[in-house]
C-alpha cells in the first residue's frame, strides 16, 4: 500500500499528520522535508530573542520523536525536485517516491529585492529555524540592526531587538507601519510606541544597495542617504512557493490554486498553508492553516471535507504596543470608526449596512477581541 505523503514538516505538514492519525492509526504515512524536521513554533521566531530563546530551545519535539508519535516515516534533508501527478510520484533528484495521496505543505519563501552592492548577499531573512540560527550568530557581530520592511514581521523583530540592547532602524517605502493592515491613526500610535523604545523609523524610502564598510555595512537608500549597520534583515514579505507545482501542471496564480476541499487541479494532490490560494485569498496565518489541516486530514481518511474559515484575528507581537487585528476583506466598502485614548485604540470598520467588517484593538482594548470576533462574518463558509 502506497503511503500518504506530505511535503513539508512545518506547522501545516505536521498539523495534517497529527489530525490524520486521530482518524487512522495505521495507514502508511510519509513526510518529506528539506530541513532537519524538528518541530517548533515558527511564529515565535520574531519574538524569541527577548525571551532568551536559542534555536535549540525553540525545538519542542525532535524529528525522531515526531516520527514515533505519528507512526510515520520522515525523510529529512530531502529537497523534492519534481512532482509527477500522472505517475503519483515525487522525485528527490533521481530518487523516486510513490504516493497514494499527496499534500503540499511547503509554505512560502522570503521575497528578495534585487539590491546592488558588494554585500547584497549578506542581507538575512528569517523564515525558518535554520535562518534564525544564522541571524542569532550575526547579532553577535554588532549592535546596529537595519530591518527592511515595517510590516507585521518587521515591527515584531524591531520590538524584540531594541529592548535587548540593539540599535534598530526600520525602513519602509510605504508612508507608515502596518499600512496594509491598519488605519493611519493606529499606524501613528504604533510608530510613537516604537520610537519611545528608541527605534529609528524611516518611511517613504528603501534600500538601494548594501556594501561592505570598514565596520559592518553601508546602506544607500533611494533618497541617497546613508545608513550604517552590522546586521541587515529583510522582512518585506513572503511569496508562496509555486515553482514545482507549476512545473507539474498544477494551476498556479498568486499561490497554488485549491478548491474548498483544498484539492489542487491534479488528482489526489492537496495543498494548504502559506503556499495556497483559495477563492482568490492568500492567508499566511496560523488559524487558516489549522482549519485547513483538519479538513484535509478528514478527506485523506475518506471523509471528504470542505474547509471553513471563521473570522480569524491576528495578534501582533509588539509588547510596546499590544495589538490584535482583523483587517476588512480586500475591496470591502465601508469606513473606520476610531476611538483613541493614548495607546488604547479601538478601530471598527463598518460596511454601509452597519455590518462589522473588521477591527483593530490596542492596549487595554485588546480585551474586547472575543466579543467583537463574534460579530464578524466568516471569511469562508
End-to-end Cα, the chain, rounded Å: 35
Judgement on whether residues 220 and 244 belong to the same structural domain of the protein? no
Structural contact between residues 338 and 357, judged by C-beta atoms closer than 8 angstroms: no
Judgement on whether residues 165 and 273 belong to the same structural domain of the protein? no
| Distance of alpha carbon 247 from the chain centroid | 24
Judgement on whether residues 90 and 26 belong to the same structural domain of the protein? yes
Task: Give the per-residue pLDDT at 19.
Answer: 98
Packing angle, helices 11-23 and 286-300, rounded to 10 = 40
Task: Give the per-residue pLDDT at 331.
Answer: 85
Confidence check: pLDDT of 179 > 90: no
- Residue 76 banded pLDDT, cuts 50, 70, 90: very high
Task: Give the per-residue pLDDT at 313.
Answer: 95
| Residue 307 included in any domain | no
Judgement on whether residues 21 and 126 belong to the same structural domain of the protein? no
Confidence check: pLDDT of 381 > 80: no
Dist CA 72 CA 246 (whole Å): 28
* Segment 26-71, tens digit of pLDDT: 999 999 999 999 999 999 999 998 888 999 999 999 999 999 999 9
Judgement on whether residues 183 and 36 belong to the same structural domain of the protein? no
Q: What is the mean pLDDT of the chain?
A: 96
How buried is residue 109: exposed, middle or buried, by Cβ count under 10 Å (0-12/13-18/19+)? Answer: middle
CATH of the domain at 337: 3.30.390.120
| Residue 96 included in any domain | yes
Judgement on whether residues 120 and 83 belong to the same structural domain of the protein? no
Judgement on whether residues 218 and 359 belong to the same structural domain of the protein? no
Dist CA 16 CA 130 (whole Å): 23
Task: Give the per-residue pLDDT at 338.
Answer: 96
Please compute the mean of the pLDDT values over residues 130-137 and round it to a whole number: 95
Task: Give the per-residue pLDDT at 299.
Answer: 98
Confidence check: pLDDT of 329 > 90: no
Question: Which residues make Cβ contacts (< 8 Å) with residue 56, sequence separation at least 6?
Answer: none
Task: Give the per-residue pLDDT at 321.
Answer: 95
* Segment 204-221, tens digit of pLDDT: 999 999 999 999 999 999
* Segment 77-96, tens digit of pLDDT: 999 999 999 999 999 999 99
* Segment 272-297, tens digit of pLDDT: 999 999 999 999 889 999 999 999 99
Show the CA angle centred on residue 281, arms to residues 335 and 191, nearest 5°. Answer: 50
Please compute the mean of the pLDDT values over residues 126-130 and round it to a whole number: 94
Confidence check: pLDDT of 256 > 80: yes
Judgement on whether residues 86 and 138 belong to the same structural domain of the protein? no
CATH of the domain at 97: 3.50.50.60
Judgement on whether residues 119 and 229 belong to the same structural domain of the protein? yes
Judgement on whether residues 135 and 212 belong to the same structural domain of the protein? yes
Closest among 379, 368, 357, 209 to 309, alpha carbons compared = 379
Task: Give the per-residue pLDDT at 51.
Answer: 87
Judgement on whether residues 126 and 204 belong to the same structural domain of the protein? yes
Give the count of beta carbons closer than 10 Å to the beta carbon of residue 94.
Answer: 6
Please compute the mean of the pLDDT values over residues 151-161 and round it to a whole number: 96
pTM of the model: 0.94
- Domain range for 169 is 112-234
Question: Which residues make Cβ contacts (< 8 Å) with residue 44, sequence separation at least 6?
Answer: 51, 53, 58
| Residue 315 included in any domain | no
Confidence check: pLDDT of 180 > 90: no
Task: Give the per-residue pLDDT at 50.
Answer: 86
| Residue 381 included in any domain | no
- Residue 342 banded pLDDT, cuts 50, 70, 90: confident
Indicate the number of domains in the chain: 3
- Residue 225 banded pLDDT, cuts 50, 70, 90: very high
- What is the percent of the chain where pLDDT is above 70? 100
Amino acid at each position: 500500500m502506497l503511503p500518504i505523503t506530505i511535503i513539508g514538516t512545518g506547522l501545516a505538514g505536521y498539523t495534517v499528520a497529527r489530525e490524520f492519525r486521530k482518524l487512522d492509526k495505521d495507514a502508511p504515512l510519509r513526510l518529506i522535508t528539506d530541513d532537519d524536521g524538528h518541530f517548533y513554533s515558527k511564529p515565535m521566531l520574531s519574538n524569541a530573542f527577548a525571551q532568551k530563546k536559542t534555536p535549540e530551545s525553540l525545538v519542542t519535539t525532535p524529528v525522531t520523536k515526531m516520527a514515533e508519535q505519528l507512526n510515520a516515516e520522515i525523510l529529512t534533508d530531502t529537497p523534492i525536485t519534481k512532482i509527477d501527478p500522472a505517475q503519483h510520484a515525487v522525485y528527490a533528484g533521481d530518487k523516486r517516491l510513490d504516493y497514494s495521496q499527496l499534500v503540499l505543505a511547503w509554505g512560502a519563501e522570503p521575497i528578495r529585492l534585487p539590491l546592488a552592492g558588494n554585500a547584497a548577499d549578506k542581507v538575512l531573512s528569517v523564515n525558518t529555524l535554520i535562518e534564525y540560527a544564522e541571524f542569532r550568530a550575526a547579532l553577535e557581530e554588532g549592535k546596529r540592526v537595519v530591518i527592511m520592511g515595517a510590516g507585521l514581521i518587521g515591527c515584531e523583530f524591531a520590538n524584540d531587538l531594541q529592548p535587548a540592547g540593539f540599535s534598530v532602524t526600520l525602513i519602509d517605502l510605504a508612508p507608515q507601519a502596518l499600512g496594509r493592515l491598519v488605519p493611519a491613526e493606529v499606524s501613528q500610535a504604533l510608530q510613537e510606541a516604537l520610537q519611545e523604545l528608541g527605534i529609528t523609523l524611516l518611511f517613504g524610502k528603501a534600500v538601494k544597495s548594501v556594501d561592505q564598510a570598514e565596520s559592518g555595512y553601508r546602506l544607500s537608500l533611494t533618497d541617497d542617504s546613508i545608513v550604517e549597520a552590522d546586521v541587515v534583515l529583510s522582512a518585506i514579505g513572503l511569496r508562496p512557493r509555486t515553482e514545482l507545482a507549476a512545473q507539474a501542471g498544477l494551476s498556479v496564480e498568486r499561490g497554488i490554486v485549491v478548491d474548498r476541499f483544498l484539492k489542487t487541479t491534479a488528482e489526489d494532490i492537496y495543498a494548504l498553508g502559506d503556499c495556497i490560494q483559495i477563492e482568490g485569498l492568500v492567508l499566511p496565518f496560523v488559524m487558516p492553516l489549522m482549519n485547513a489541516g483538519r479538513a484535509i486530514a478528514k478527506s485523506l481518511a475518506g471523509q471528504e471535507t470542505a474547509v471553513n474559515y471563521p473570522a480569524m484575528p491576528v495578534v501582533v507581537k509588539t509588547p510596546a504596543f499590544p495589538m490584535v487585528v482583523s483587517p476588512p476583506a480586500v475591496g470591502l466598502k465601508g469606513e473606520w470608526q476610531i476611538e483613541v485614548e493614548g495607546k488604547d485604540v479601538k478601530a471598527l470598520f463598518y460596511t454601509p449596512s452597519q455590518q462589522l467588517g473588521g477591527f483593530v484593538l490596542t492596549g487595554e482594548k485588546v480585551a474586547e477581541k472575543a466579543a467583537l470576533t463574534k460579530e464578524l462574518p466568516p471569511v469562508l463558509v
